Structure 1
Amino acid sequence: MSVPTHISQYTQYKQDTNDVAAWLLTAHPDFKQPKGPGRLKGRARRAAREEAEAERATKIVVTRHVKEVPRLVALKLRRSIVRRRYQQRYYEHGDGDADSNASHAHFISVLEDVEKVLMPLLPKEFQRKARQGAAEDDAEAAALINRFEALTVEEVADEAPDSHAAAGSSETSPIVAVNCKIAEDEINTPSPIFGLELLLEDLWMVTHHVRESWQAYREGRMSLEAAAVATETTHHLFYTTECELRGAGGLDNCPGGWPSAMYKIHAARQEAQEKCETQGNNSGFLEFLEDLINIWEALLGLLHVRRSMDMSDLLHAQLPTFDWARDDRHLLQRLLLDEAIVQTRIFAATPKANTLPGVDKFGLYLYHACEDNSISLTTVYLSVFYLEMRLAMGSESGKAWPELRTFLETTRPDVIQAAQRYGHLASRGWMSSNVLHCLRGWLQQAEVVTDDSGADSPLISAQSTSQDRAPSHRRIPWFSSNPWLCGRLLVIYKTLAYEFGHFWSNHAPTPLVVCHLYNAAKKEKVLPEGWSWPGVESLLDTYPEMFFSHQRPRGWFNYSLSVMKALGGGIQTVRREGRRYAGRNARRAARADPGRDSVNLDKRWKFPQRILTLTTMKSRWLKGQDQWTADEITHIMQQSVLCRKFVKSTIRRGAEPKLSMLDALRRMRRCINAELAVLKDENWIRYHNLGWDICTRIWTEIREVREDAIELGHSEEVRFLIVHTLFETKDRNLLQEAARIMQAVVSGV
């Protein structure tokens, strides 16, 4: 079963009690199903208020009306007991709310009594847990008095179970959602300090995910992009849980503020550990709290010192050095934070740093914490993620920056080539101006990221004469020490380059016609000896639907028909012996039926987009949408062709039906790895540029093909239709010459 988040239990334990009460009501042998969906009304509602829950449980056991308590009901009952007992500890410390403590103690005993009554019908594993969680009580179940009278059923959900479900096995017994009202309202409102601890437990839990991701990247088991997406998604999910807690009043209402509550939680945990009292599998949580307190105190001191320094002092500040083998963990945390504070302030002062897409959340929050002299909880947990990344990477933190720089430097020529080719078409309405605008923005940002010059351009220098500016090359240290930032930018720039190339490849389909040309040359065995094009081979294997019969054509007629269908049809076939009159006849046919020779762009086959999850995440990053939920991640992955298999139903007997936070993160990481493989294999912008050059050279160097294309009168798309014309010639020598040109272009000759 997946590990649930702790913060979800902050509001969940009330619903757990509701579900247990609902099952006791509907599983009772005298329960009568209401007619149709809706609330319990009239006699059924009065009976729900009057009949005691312990008596219901006793009747269920005595009559054996149910063979076994469903595992999910047993889970919710045990979880309600544990969580309420766990929260009660906080009423025994601090302010000492005696009334709340008494109410919790009373209600815990009510739940324990119900569990004792149901013991014979509980699944075996829950029987063991119940015996371990409370002292043995040999009193007969019939002697138990009604201690559940504080619980009243208010309403039933839309769907009630039938009589067969109530009397059936655990597999068929449903859970009916019933809203229950507790007499003591404060019992339904968890303590703010308790809610904060649950949030910190979630932080501790997801921090393992961050650490594992960067450790895998360091060891070569994960890509930089996947590790960055894992960390970024963790931030988005955890930010949502923080907002959930804040909205429930469990953060702002902490006595003395959340920092004071954090110290109280640490003291309570330490006392519990000394008494050998543990709550589940929480080994290491106390040490995590100590790390958290150390980070908080380090931020307080370091921000106070560095905030008073002007830019000239920061530029000449001596950054700390690390001894990864000898320095203890807390010392490394303080040194890394000091380095990050200095570098983020310098980074923000470099020219055009604000043009980068959202930069990184940690650097942004750290910068504002320094400027505003205020540390938020978000700043603290982003610091936790950053430090876990740095500690996992150790001395190899600088390996990410070369990956980002190399990608930008190798991709920039292809982007420039495409921009020069299509720039004039924006005025004709052929291409969306937004695409070209994004393209130019990509090139400008690539220049900003890779600029490591010691002197700024004259324009920037004229605008940067004040002491609050820093030269361009001083942003590089922050890139070198922050793999998270490098990975984030790499995902954005790779995804944008994919989208640019994919757009052009489908609107000016040179990769499509080159695939058909390569297939024909291979089938006719006229490819240059010993040469193959792995990229196109991969496209042929991945997208067999580009051929009209979903199978690679094997003859001249099928070559021609296949590419004609792929390009949208409407191309007149020309017999070799009729070449002399082909142009005249085609023009006459066009005048008689203007639509006969036209290409229907709506019917043109297009390469599908296969990185929907990455493009969606990139768009949300650029829009600053930080609040994500596990359900949203599930929905995004369900829409992706490659990721649907990772989000199949997780409903199992006794398991929660939805993905937990950690499950969503792990599945997202697998999904991203699958889509990153597509980014690596399908370099669309490169395929498009090569395809365009191949078609252009075939047009220029093969006279017979050029003459046929001119006679057909296809002027706008002549570079694509020449491949169709080449097939119409049925000349293996011409096809062999086209294959030679293809090899020369790909090889850069």
Structure 2
Amino acid sequence: MLPSQLSGVYRQYKEDTDSVAAWLASTAKSCGYPADLLASPSWDAPQAKKSTRLKGKQRKQAKASGKANTAPKTSKYIVAIKDFLPLADFIAGRTNPSVTVPTVFSQTLNRVITLRTGYGQMRTESGAEPDAEGDEKHGYFVGVLQAVRDALRPRMTTEEAAASADKPSPSSNASTFQATAEDLGNKFAALNVDDPSQAFIDDFTSAPVERPKAQEQDPVDYTAEEPVSLEELLFSMTLLFNDLMKIRSRIDWIWSNHRDGFFDLGAAAVATNIAIALARGMIEEVEPILNRYEGGAYGVLNKLFLIIGHRKGYTLEQMVLDGPDNFPYDLYELTDEAYLVAYRLLLSCADVLQPNQLPLIKEGMFGHYDAKSDRTKKSGREKFLEDQILIMELFTEFITLIRCVASYPVEDEVIRGMRVLEKTKTVSFSLVFAVQMVLDINHIMRDGARSSFNIMVQQTSAIETHLKSYLEYHKNLRIDNWPASNDMALKDFIRRIQWVGSDPIHKVKSKVMKSMGVPVSPQMELHRMFIYSPVIAGMYLYRTRYEMWDCGIAIANAWGSIAYTGHLYNALRQQNLIQGTWPDMDLTLSLLGESNVWVGDERPVSIGDCFQKFCLQMGVTASAFTTKRRKNIGSLHSRAGPRGFKDGCPVSAKFTAEWISGNDSDFSWTPEMIKDILARSRFIVEESGENGVTITALDTPVKGKGKGKSQQKGKVDMPTADALAKALILALHFESMEMAFPYTLMHRWCWNLLRQVKNECDPLLRQLYTPSYLERENQLPWIIGYILMAASGIDGGVQDERLLKAAAGVFSVMTETEAGMVSMVVMKKLGFDIGFEAEAEESDAEEE
């Protein structure tokens, strides 16, 4: 289950209300409240409840978090609303001993009262039709809560008693629902999601982590009675709407910035899909209540549409039309805000779905989608038609994928919801929200969606090329710790890229059409799903890039090429034997992080330290390189073995290929995971202005690992869903360069460089270390140890820099020519324009 802040205000409200009821009931019970006075059946004969014993993974997680020994509640009791005040009066009247009301109870009760009273005022000011019965029920519950607070005020702490007495009335307080009512009358308040109402922040973001609890010895699980009325349903839906609007605004913000070139496609897609998944969790919290109403969520949305429309000045005749097609196209913006456009289109999709037929539509049946056209000049009917083309054509893609294409490498929230629709023909509100995000993103991106598709094609094609080049390079060059099975996995990887590139969905559709004698229209273009859904295109790019990054790091670790060459490069620079820098290596070392390359996190300066740290990185002792111990090298390896690169991309690594494909059932938002994400994203500064978003690293290396100065121990301030989406997009974007870096290309260049160093130094190496210093090419990294050892004077105590100077001659090619920028050129072609700023010398800084 998600932390309550990520599940939305309604979940937090429910937990608040239940905790108030639990404290009242259990405290009164412990003080001797007579059970026969209860309006509900006695808590001594509670309702039966299913076992709460944890099983499987949940049990392991509970054990790991230290909660496994918590005694489960044995039964459930629903506290009637009419019992709240008698219980409070009884507790307040106890004198021997008297009961002190915990501060957390007072704060929780105040939150619930503020929320309920704010909603009542919003209803009045919104212009909604009067509902005497509903208002009476709503006001009754608020009155009960206020009476409970008044009864218990003498038992509160002095501070809380004063605070609750001075609590401003709803008429003088800008509540959550005032903000909601205003926002519902605008198009997301110009995407300003960073400034929600202060009441919302104070009452439902920072505080509700801690709530009052039932008495420890009480085995009953208490919950508050749920009022059943249309008014309560609209209250719940308004809470949900407010949360969904913030997520919707955040997603619009993400894709506006991607369109303008500020956010990476893969990062934008993953952050968006997570935001939609969090929205699904919020919807599922409220869905049982929505299903009580006639028409379910669709009926409630129509009701809200009428309320919002009435507030904006529309008449009932304008909103409810006569005739078979009674959709109010002239009020398109209003229906779009209320999710009725997406809902109506999905209901149409469900109607045409047949068990044994693909929903193939004739190209151009509804017209042709023109992303280059100016949507702002379209009428409401034209906008709806454009949406219809998008959704109907995507629907064909999705159902074809679900029914005929197995093991597809990507599954976003839309495909997930479509699988449910395909099985049940039921349109869930969570799918409606996901499809609405598809529409929103296309409205924002317009023809830019095709540009995002081209980015995906370019980068995945580059990955395929790098994989092929690696396999060709190592066709006759093997190493013990890189078995043939690894190469087979790389070949499978290439085949999957090629399979997706061939568009298996298009192939199935074409095959079915030909079998039906229907000609395949040239207008039925390839990769329609990727073009219409930048989220799916971005998630596929992210998965492919993630797997390539994983392969690249594994290859670099197996061969040691990058790390060991980096040690020699550093030694040459520290000894001033080469002029200039090797940009590719500097970027690589920066991305990998100091702790991954230098034992102790600090670059070695002296040649002796360079040799010692190289030996530690390689996992051998210095004695391994002496001529006297040459035949016993195998016994001189450390127990830990070579140190490889690890802990890369701390946020991106959470979302594995299994998660992207929808197969990671173990994924869960733990507080530890959220803490890591927030710590990582604190290394980033976002500046919004006319020129978009600027992202800058703070006082840490490019590679933060989630362990920088901003990492805080202890309690985590849990973010709301839209705040988490913001943190995610910033962190994922920041890591996208590291994920996209061509490590296999860098590996090949480093290995070629080691070959050249070996050829240049071979005569002297033979002289110093005998012709047997190198037996096979896969031992090339050992020559770095010989070079550094000779220069440090460990073997015999005499420093000999001849090998080091010979190596410097080879490295000068990388520091003085464009050969040292091959990887950066590749990155620039992929959209990552990288530059370096020279650090001021300490002496210069002191003079200033």
TM-score, normalised on structure 2? 0.64
Q: Which residue of 2 aligns with 1:533?
A: 583
Native 8 Å contact 1:336 1:387 kept in 2: yes
Aligned in 2, Cα 1:452/1:505: closer, same or farther, shift over 3 Å? same
1:177: Cα distance to partner?
1.1
Query: Following TM superposition, by how much is the alpha carbon of 1:259 offset from its aligned partner in structure 2, in angstroms?
Result: 1.8
Q: Distance in 1 between matches of 2:475 and 2:121?
A: 65
Equivalent in the alignment of 1:718 = 779
Q: d(CA) in 1 for partners of 2:364 and 2:759?
A: 57
Deviations 1:587-639 (A, max 9, x none): 5x53xxx754x434723222222213212213322243488557585166379
- Which SS does the other structure have where 2:536 is aligned? helix
Return the offset for 1:111: 1.6
- The answer to whether the Cα contact below 8 Å between 2:305 and 2:334 also exists between their aligned partners in 1 is no
SS in 2 for 1:263: helix
> How far 1:695 sits from its partner (Å)?
1.8
Specify the SS of the correspondent of 1:178.
coil
Does 2:720 correspond to 1:660? yes
- Counterpart of 2:743 (choices 676, 684, 707) is 684
Structure 1 residues 30-41: aligned runs within 5 Å: none
Question: CA offset at residue 294 of structure 1?
Answer: 2.4
1:320 to 369, 394, 398: 369
Q: Give the 3 Å change call, closer, same or farther, for CA 382–713 of structure 1 in structure 2.
A: same
Give the aligned partner of residue 616 of structure 1: 654
Shift of 1:491: 1.3
Q: Which runs of 5+ in 1 are unaligned?
A: 29-36, 41-47, 136-170, 276-283, 576-581
Aligned to 2:340: 293
Counterpart of 1:259 in structure 2 is 298
> Partner letter of residue 517 of structure 1?
L
**Structure 1 residue 524 displacement after superposition:** 2.8
Q: CA–CA distance in 2 between the matches of 1:25 and 1:612?
A: 49
- Cα deviation for residue 314 of structure 1 reads 3.5
Give the direction of change, closer, same or farther, for the CA distance of 1:106–1:534 in structure 2 (3 Å limit).
same
| 1:11 paired residue number | 14
Q: Relative to structure 2, which stretch is displaced further, 628-637 or 196-205?
A: 628-637
Per the TM alignment, residue 201 of structure 1 is displaced from its structure 2 partner at its CA by 3.7
Kindly state the Cα deviation for residue 515 of structure 1 after the two structures are TM-superposed.
0.4
User: Aligned residue for 2:393?
Assistant: 342
Cα 1:607–1:375 change in 2 (3 A) is same
CA separation of 1:571/1:412 partners in 2, compared to 1, >3 Å: closer, same or farther? Answer: farther
Summarize the Cα distance change of 1:337–1:571 in structure 2 as closer, same or farther, 3 Å threshold: farther
Counterpart in 2 of 1:108?
142
The letter for the 1-side match of 2:283 is E
Q: Counterparts of 1:405-424 in structure 2 under 5 Å?
A: 405-420=457-472
State whether structure 2 residue 214 is matched by structure 1 residue 178.
yes
Tell me, in whole angstroms, the C-alpha distance in 1 between the residues paired with 2:634 and 2:714.
53
Map Cα deviations across residues 250-299 of structure 1 (whole Å, 9 max, x no partner): 34433333322322343455567779xxxxxxxx9994675411222233
* 1:227-266 matched pairs, under 5 angstroms: 227-246=268-287, 249-266=288-305
The answer to whether the 8 A contact 2:449-2:534 is kept is yes
Aligned AA for 1:76?
R
SS state at 2:465 partner: helix
CA distance in 2, matches of 1:725, 1:553: 17
User: Quick check: 1:733 aligned with 2:818?
Assistant: no
Q: Could you tell me how far 1:734 is from its partner in structure 2?
A: 1.0
How many Å separate the matches in 2 of 1:565 and 1:378?
53
Q: Which residue number in structure 1 is paired with residue 58 of structure 2?
A: none
2:526 to 475, 499, 515: 475
In 1, Cα distance between equivalents of 2:227 and 2:276: 31
For residues 445 and 367 of structure 2, what CA distance do their matches in structure 1 show? 22
Contact 1:344–1:367 (Cα < 8 Å) also in 2: no
After superposition, what is the alpha-carbon deviation per residue over 1:153-205, rounded to whole angstroms, capped at 9, x for unaligned? Answer: xxxxxxxxxxxxxxxxxx9xx85313899999454999566545543443223
Equivalent residue of 1:734, what SS? helix
* Aligned amino acid, residue 117 of structure 2: V
208-217 vs 194-203, which moves further: 194-203
Change (3 A) 1:300 1:50: closer
Structure 1, 294-303 or 187-196: larger mean CA deviation: 187-196
Q: Alignment partner of 2:647: what SS?
A: coil
- Cα 1:228–1:461, aligned 2, differ >3 Å: closer, same or farther? closer
- Give the match for residue 699 of structure 1: 758
Contact 1:25 1:56 in 2 (8 A): yes
Identity rate of aligned residues, in percent? 12
Ranges in structure 2 where 5+ consecutive residues have no aligned partner: 32-69, 74-82, 174-206, 315-330, 681-703, 791-799, 824-848
Q: Is the 8 A contact 1:75 1:126 kept in 2?
A: yes
Report the AA paired with residue 667 of structure 1.
A
Distance 1:669 1:126, change over 3 A: farther
Q: Cα distance 1:185–1:507, how it changes in 2: closer, same or farther (>3 A)?
A: same
Q: Which structure has the bigger radius of gyration?
A: 1
Could you say what the CA RMSD is over the residues aligned between the two structures, in angstroms?
5.4
Following TM superposition, by how much is the alpha carbon of 1:326 offset from its aligned partner in structure 2, in angstroms? 0.2
Distance 2:227 2:503 in 1: 60
Contact residue 467 and residue 490 of structure 2 kept, 8 A? yes
Match of 2:685 in 1: none
**Matching residue of 2:427:** 375
Of Structure 1 and Structure 2, which has the larger fraction of its residues in helix?
1
Q: 1:297 to 1:70 in 2, by over 3 A?
A: closer
Q: Please, which moves more after superposition, 491-500 or 187-196?
A: 187-196
Measured in 2, the distance between the counterparts of 1:612 and 1:489 equals: 20
Measure, in 1, the Cα distance between the counterparts of 2:707 and 2:281. 24
Residue 637 in 1 paired to residue 677 in 2?
yes
Pairs aligned (count) = 657
Structure 1 pair 49–211 and aligned structure 2 pair: CA distance change class (3 A): closer
1 CA distance for matches of 2:715 and 2:639?
44
Show the counterpart of 1:164.
none
- CA contact 1:214–1:389 (8 Å) conserved in 2: yes
Please report how far the alpha carbon of residue 385 of structure 1 lies from its aligned counterpart in structure 2 after TM superposition.
0.9
Structure 1 pair 739–297 and aligned structure 2 pair: CA distance change class (3 A): same
8 Å CA contact 1:726–1:734 kept in 2: the answer is: no
Amino acid at match of 1:295: A
Which amino acid counterpart does residue 266 of structure 2 have in structure 1? E
Evaluate the alpha carbon distance shift between residue 121 and residue 689 of structure 1 in structure 2; reply closer, same or farther with a 3 A threshold.
same
Is the deviation greater in 305-314 or in 321-330? 305-314
1:97–1:500: structure 2 CA closer, same or farther, 3 Å change rule? farther
**Distance change in 2, residues 1:460/1:396 (3 Å):** closer
CA deviation string 1:377-429 (max 9, x = no partner):
23311111111111222342222122212212333332223334567899x97
Distance apart, 1:210 and its partner CA? 0.8
Instruction: Give yes or no for the alignment of 1:499 onto 2:533.
Output: no
Please state whether the residue corresponding to 1:474 is helix, strand or coil.
Answer: coil
| Corresponding residue of 2:734 | 674
Q: Retained in 2: the 8 A contact 1:236–1:628?
A: no
Q: Structure 1, residues 631-689: CA drift from partner, whole Å, max 9, x if none?
A: 5851663797644678858979xxxx643323322332333233324335x54333222
Aligned mate of 2:111, from 76, 80, 93: 76
- CA spacing shift, 1:130–1:531, aligned 2, 3 Å: closer
Match for residue 244 of structure 2? 203
SS of aligned partner of 1:325: helix
For each residue in 1:334-378, what CA deviation from the matched residue of structure 2 results, as whole angstroms up to 9, or x when unmatched?
Answer: 413413422553587699965541254435655885897653323
Structure 2 vs 1, CA of residues 394 and 517 (structure 1 numbering), >3 Å: closer, same or farther?
A: same
Please list, as runs of the form range in 1=range in 2, the aligned pairs for 1:593-612 lying within 5 A after superposition: 595-596=634-635, 598-600=636-638, 602-612=640-650
Distance (whole Å) between structure 2 residues aligned to residue 21 and residue 384 of structure 1: 42
Among 549, 557, 561, which residue is 1:510 paired with? 561
